[in-house]
Structure formats: structure tokens, C-alpha cells
């Protein structure tokens, strides 16, 4: 059959809503740009044009033309070995979006998909199409689905009334001020236009969604939200890190065995708890400084930008400043914790580090301990919220910026003990902290709990347990854990466990 006829038949089989979503996923805002110094605003305006004209004319002709052009580009594309191109990214995004929406063109060359995945050095686990979908876009899709057709025009009105958000943007005027969202697919086109527009003018990112939340907050709940949804529910979904679908992220497990009974048990537990919610796991037994440098180099590969998060378990001996490596050398803990979060492939994504080692030799001994109950009251809690608001600064958009981000942002570091203190372990089962952390995470999967909630529960649970030193003194002590958080959103464990699918990728 003629390819033109095949493409036409394929497009005619896709509903308007799915066409809008396919366009949105295919024009992913974070896709690499082909040249440095190009006019990004003009490029984004050109990308936005099909959405703008569809909303204005209630006609999907331009989106159809865009999708036809994509298919023709991929049809003529020759996969170049070893060199990753912009088209490679676009092809993978397009394929994964089609697979997700169940609209894969029957004529799409799946061997090219496999060849591109080879260029990215993807393992069998990484060839699952869900890895290629952007979690932030999936969250935004759910927000759109939670809004009625009447809700999105309310957001549009609020956006149009803020001149700082529309100044100098030509496609805004194509749509006009008033929009009829009732024809099927128009609501989606308008919502996705708003989202991409706010990304284009650098008002929102995958982490910074405050400006979008403020537009949603101005909607009338009764007319804007689908049944069972509220404005608060929608905004809360934006305040969590986007970790939709499989895999939840990449997990690195580093474990030193020397003089650490139960180390293999630690690995088994952390591997199980990481794979349970759908992480792709890599383990390094007895790491050295060279091992860690190689792991860092690996994580800089382009394929890791498809991951939604990064988690690292580092289990070893240590003191207040350093961790002991397998070759007897020490590594500064601060160096490790500042170098890994700076890896570009995981920028704007949650990064969690479980540092399981002693931070000193002190112990919280219970023998002869005296406890004193104290209580205190403060009047400042009685200050009314209105009074507080009146004393706060009025922070305008003109003094806000989301372009520059401190490397440690979106990072959480969990320690198995507190500064200058021991981290307890059992000869046969390894670190008590690892054991309790894995138990509590396993119990809370599918309950929608946030990671920090679980860590707070872990702190309570661990501090209740009496431990005893293994030396001749047999000192009874308690262990306390803590964490440092630079998170800007909430990181929740997924409600559902994510098994691997039977078919991970295109046929070889």
C-alpha cells in the first residue's frame, strides 16, 4: 500500500484528544536542541503554531501535517552508528508516545528503534518504552484530564490578563481572548499550549510549577474540575516530583564487605526494595575510588536523561568526614555528595543518597542515664494568619528566576546515624538501619507515602531499638538517624508496583 495512504489512514484512526496528546509528548520541552545559539523563542513559537491554529479554527489540519512530517522524517532517516542526533531523541519520544497512547503506526520501522536504542547502549530492562516517556509530561497530562472543558479557558483568561506572560508572543493573538473548548480535543490543545508557553518563557520547569499552579488556583472549582477532582487535588499532584510509570528511577548500590558482617544481606535487601517499586538497579561490591569514577562516567551517558530519579545506597565503614573504600583508601563524604548531584543527566530530578556508615565513635549509652521531662509554651502560635500575611514581602514575578539552579537542589541525603556517632550492625544481617529502612519502604509501597514520611517513621523505629557493642565492654546504646533535604517537591513511592512488561522494546 502507498505510504501516503497508510499515513492518512493512520491519522484518521486517532481521536482528536489522542492527537493533541501525541503532539504534546512529541514536542517534549526538554528535548536537546540541534544547534547552540539558535533562536529558541522563534523555534518554540513555530512549534506552538499547530496548537494555536487548532484552538482558533477548531481544525486539526496543522497537527495532522505536523505528525505527517514527523512520520516522513523518520521514514527517510538513516540511523548513523555511534553518533546520537536530535532525530534519535525525537524518534524514541515519538515511538514511546505512540505506544503509550496505543496508536503505533503499523508502518513504523521498529528496527530503527532498536538501532537507536543500541546507540544509547540500552540494556534489555531499559528498552521498555515507558522509560522513554517524560514523567513531567505524564503528570501534566493527568492535570489536563482532571479539568473540565470549561476549566482550561479560565486558566487562559487568567494568563491573558497578566501582560508579563504574553508580551511579544505572536501565537497568543492567534487564539484570541475567548475560546470555545467544547469540540473534542480543543481543551487538550489549549492546555498543552499554555504549558509549553510557560516553559518557553521560562516560568515553569519540571520542578518549578508555581506559575501554573497559580493559574489553576484562579479557576472556579465547581465548573473547572472533573467529578471527584478538586483544585487542591490538582495542585497537590503538581507539588510532587514526577515519577510516573516504570521505571521509578536508577538505583546504584555500593557496598564494602571488608570487616562488615552481613554485607551480602544488605545488598540483597536494598536490591529487593529498589526493584519492588520499579527501579533499574546496578550493584558495585567492594568499590574503590576508580570504581566510583567509572560509575560517575557511566551516569553521564545520554540514556540516563530518560530516568526520573536517582537513588544511591553507600554502605561502608566511616568516620565524621570520610568513607572507607575496599582498597583501604578513604573518600571524603562531602566530595561524593557534591559531585554526584551535579551530574547533568539528573538535573531537576530527585536524587536520594543513603549513607550507611559510622560518623564517629560516640555512643548514646543508656547505663545510668537520667531523663528529665520539660515542657514549654510559646505565645507566638497565637498570631493570626492575616497578621502574618500583612508582614510578609510581596514577591513579584520580576524577581523570580528558574533558569539557574544550585547543584545540590533536588537532593536528599539520609544518614544511618547522627554526627560523631556509631552506626550499629548485626553480624549476620548487616546494618540495622538498612534492615529497618527496607522493611518500612516495603510496608509503605502502594500507600502513596512520601519518602520523608517514611524516613521520619524510620527515625522513630530505629531509636526504639536497644543495641549492644560487639567488643568486650558490651555497651548497650541507641542509634539515631537523620537526613538533610534540599527537595523542592514531595517524592512519593508509587501507588502501584511496576512489573516488567513481557515485551520491552521493538523486535530485534
Q: What is the pTM of this model?
A: 0.82
Band of pLDDT at residue 1, cut at 50, 70 and 90: low
CATH of domain 249-362+405-486: 3.40.50.1460
Question: 116 to each of 101, 106, 332, 336, how far by Cα in Å?
Answer: 21, 19, 38, 32
| Residue 108: pLDDT band with limits 50, 70, 90 | confident
The pLDDT score that the predictor gives to residue 493 is 77
Residue carrying the nine cell digits 495542585: 235
Q: What percent of the chain has pLDDT over 90?
A: 54
Question: How much is the pLDDT for 495?
Answer: 60
> CA-to-CA distance for 451 and 299, rounded, in angstroms?
23
Give pLDDT, residue 243: 83
What average pLDDT does range 485-494 have in this prediction?
Answer: 87
Domain chopping of the chain, boundaries: 1-29+47-133, 137-239, 249-362+405-486
Asked if residue 410 lies in contact with residue 349, where contact means CB atoms within 8 angstroms, the answer is yes
| pLDDT tens digits, one per residue of 182-201 | 899 999 999 999 999 999 88
Tens digits of per-residue pLDDT, 144-178? Answer: 999 999 999 999 999 999 988 888 788 898 998 89
Q: Give percent of the chain above pLDDT 70.
A: 87
CB 281 within 8 A of CB 400: no
Q: 90 versus 474: which is more confidently predicted?
A: 90
Asked if residue 308 has pLDDT above 50, the reply is yes
- Position 500 confidence tier, pLDDT thresholds 50, 70, 90: low
Of residues 94, 42, 50, the one with CA closest to residue 190: 50
- Note whether 325 and 316 are within 8 A (CB): yes
pLDDT of residue 504: 42
DSSP 8-state class, residue 30: T
The stretch 98-122 carries a mean pLDDT of 93
Confidence at 290, pLDDT banded by 50, 70, 90 = very high
Reported as a single tens digit per residue, the pLDDT across 379-391 is 333 334 444 445 4
The owner of cell 546507540 is: 119
Q: Are 197 and 177 in contact (CB under 8 A)?
A: no
pLDDT at 393: 56
The helix (run of H) or strand (run of E) holding residue 283 is strand 279-285
3-state secondary structure 196-247: HHHHHCCCCCCCCCHHHHHHHHCCCHHHHECCCCCHHHHHHHHCECCCCCCC
* Cell representation of residue 25: 509528548
Residue from 7, 124, 163 nearest 74 by CA: 7
Residue 333 burial (C-beta neighbours within 10 Å; 0-12, 13-18, 19+): buried
- CB count, 10 Å around CB of 138? 18
| Greatest mean pLDDT range, 106-110, 271-275, 304-308, 494-498 | 304-308
- Compute the distance between CA of residue 12 and CA of residue 16 in angstroms, rounded to an integer: 9
Average pLDDT value for residue range 121-130:
92
User: 340 to each of 187, 300, 337, 423, how far by Cα in Å?
Assistant: 41, 10, 6, 23
Output the pLDDT for position 29. 54
Residue 319's Cβ-count burial label (10 Å; 0-12, 13-18, 19+) is: middle
Tens digit of each residue's pLDDT (9 = 90 or more) over 50-62: 999 999 999 999 9
The pLDDT tens digits of the residues spanning 389-448 come to: 454 556 677 778 888 888 889 999 999 999 989 888 887 888 999 999 998 888 877 677
Which pLDDT does position 390 carry in this prediction?
53
Q: Has residue 213 got a pLDDT over 60?
A: yes
To the nearest whole number, what is the mean pLDDT of the chain?
85
Tell me the C-alpha to C-alpha distance, in Å, between residue 319 and each of 97, 330, 417, 432, 483.
48, 10, 11, 18, 17
Determine the pLDDT at residue 352: 94
Of 306, 303, 323, the residue nearest 314 (C-alpha): 323
Q: What is the DSSP string of 379-442?
A: GGGGS-HHHHHHTS----GGG---S---TTTTEEEEESS-TTB---EETTTEEHHHHHHHHHHH
- What pLDDT is attached to residue 41? 52
pLDDT range class, residue 244, cuts 50, 70, 90: confident
Neighbours of 1 (CB within 10 A): 8
pLDDT tens profile 2-45 = 778 889 999 999 999 999 999 999 987 544 443 333 445 556 67
Q: Of 322, 337, 356, which Cα lies nearest the Cα of 433?
A: 356
What is the chain's Cα-based Rg?
A: 26
Q: What is the mean pLDDT of residues 259-285?
A: 90
Amino acid at each position: 500500500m502507498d505510504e501516503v495512504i497508510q499515513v492518512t489512514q493512520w491519522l484518521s484512526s486517532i481521536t482528536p484528544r489522542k492527537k493533541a496528546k501525541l503532539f504534546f509528548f512529541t514536542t517534549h520541552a526538554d528535548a536537546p536542541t540541534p544547534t547552540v545559539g539558535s533562536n529558541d523563542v522563534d523555534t518554540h513559537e513555530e512549534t506552538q503554531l499547530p496548537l494555536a491554529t487548532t484552538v482558533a479554527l477548531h481544525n486539526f489540519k496543522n497537527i495532522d501535517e505536523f505528525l505527517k512530517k514527523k512520520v516522513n522524517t523518520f521514514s527517510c532517516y538513516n540511523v548513523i552508528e555511534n553518533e546520537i542526533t536530535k532525530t534519535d531523541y525525537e524518534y524514541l519520544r515519538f515511538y514511546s508516545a505512540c505506544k503509550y497512547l496505543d496508536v503505533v503506526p503499523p508502518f513504523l520501522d521498529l528496527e530503527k528503534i532498536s538501532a537507536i536504542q543500541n546507540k544509547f547502549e540500552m540494556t534489555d530492562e531499559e528498552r521498555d518504552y515507558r522509560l522513554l516517556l517524560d514523567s513531567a509530561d505524564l503528570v501534566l497530562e493527568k492535570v489536563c484530564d482532571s479539568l473540565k472543558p470549561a476549566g482550561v479557558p479560565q486558566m487562559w483568561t487568567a494568563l491573558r490578563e497578566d501582560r508579563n506572560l504574553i508580551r511579544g508572543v505572536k501565537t497568543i493573538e492567534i487564539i484570541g481572548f475567548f475560546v470555545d473548548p467544547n469540540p473534542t480535543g480543543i481543551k487538550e490543545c489549549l492546555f498543552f499550549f499554555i504549558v509549553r508557553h510557560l516553559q518557553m518563557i521560562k516560568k515553569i520547569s519540571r520542578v518549578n510549577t508555581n506559575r501554573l499552579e497559580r493559574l489553576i488556583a484562579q479557576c472556579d472549582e465547581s465548573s473547572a474540575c472533573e467529578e471527584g477532582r478538586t483544585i487542591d487535588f490538582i495542585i497537590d499532584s503538581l507539588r510532587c516530583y514526577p515519577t510516573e510509570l516504570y521505571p521509578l528511577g536508577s538505583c546504584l548500590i555500593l557496598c564494602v564487605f571488608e570487616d562488615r558482617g552481613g554485607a551480602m544481606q544488605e545488598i540483597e535487601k536494598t536490591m529487593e526494595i529498589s526493584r519492588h517499586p520499579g527501579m533499574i538497579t546496578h550493584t558495585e561490591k567492594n568499590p574503590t575510588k576508580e570504581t566510583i569514577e567509572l560509575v560517575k562516567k557511566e551516569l553521564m551517558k545520554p540514556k540516563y536523561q530518560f530516568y526520573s530519579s536517582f537513588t544511591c545506597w553507600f554502605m561502608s565503614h566511616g568516620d565524621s568526614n570520610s568513607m572507607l573504600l575496599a582498597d583501604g583508601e578513604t573518600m571524603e563524604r562531602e566530595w561524593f555528595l557534591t559531585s554526584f548531584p551535579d551530574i547533568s543527566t539528573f538535573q531537576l530530578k530527585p536524587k536520594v543518597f543513603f549513607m550507611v556508615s559510622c560518623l564517629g565513635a560516640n555512643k548514646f549509652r543508656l547505663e545510668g542515664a537520667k531523663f528529665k521531662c520539660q515542657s514549654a509554651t510559646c505565645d507566638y502560635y497565637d498570631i493570626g494568619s492575616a497578621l502574618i500575611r500583612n508582614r510578609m514581602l510581596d514577591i513579584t514575578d520580576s524577581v523570580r528566576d528558574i533558569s539557574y539552579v544550585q547543584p545540590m537542589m533536588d537532593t536528599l541525603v539520609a544518614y544511618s546515624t547522627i554526627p560523631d556517632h556509631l552506626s550499629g550492625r548485626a553480624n549476620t544481617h548487616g546494618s540495622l538501619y538498612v534492615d529497618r529502612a527496607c522493611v518500612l519502604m516495603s510496608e509503605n509501597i502502594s500507600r502513596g507515602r512520601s519518602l520523608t514520611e517514611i524516613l521520619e517513621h524510620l527515625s522513630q523505629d530505629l531509636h526504639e531499638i536497644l543495641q549492644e557493642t560487639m567488643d568486650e565492654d558490651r555497651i548497650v546504646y541507641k542509634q539515631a538517624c537523620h537526613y538533610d533535604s534540599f527537595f523542592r517537591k514531595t517524592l512519593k513511592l508509587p501507588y502501584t508496583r511496576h512489573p516488567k512488561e513481557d515485551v520491552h522494546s521493538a523486535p530485534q
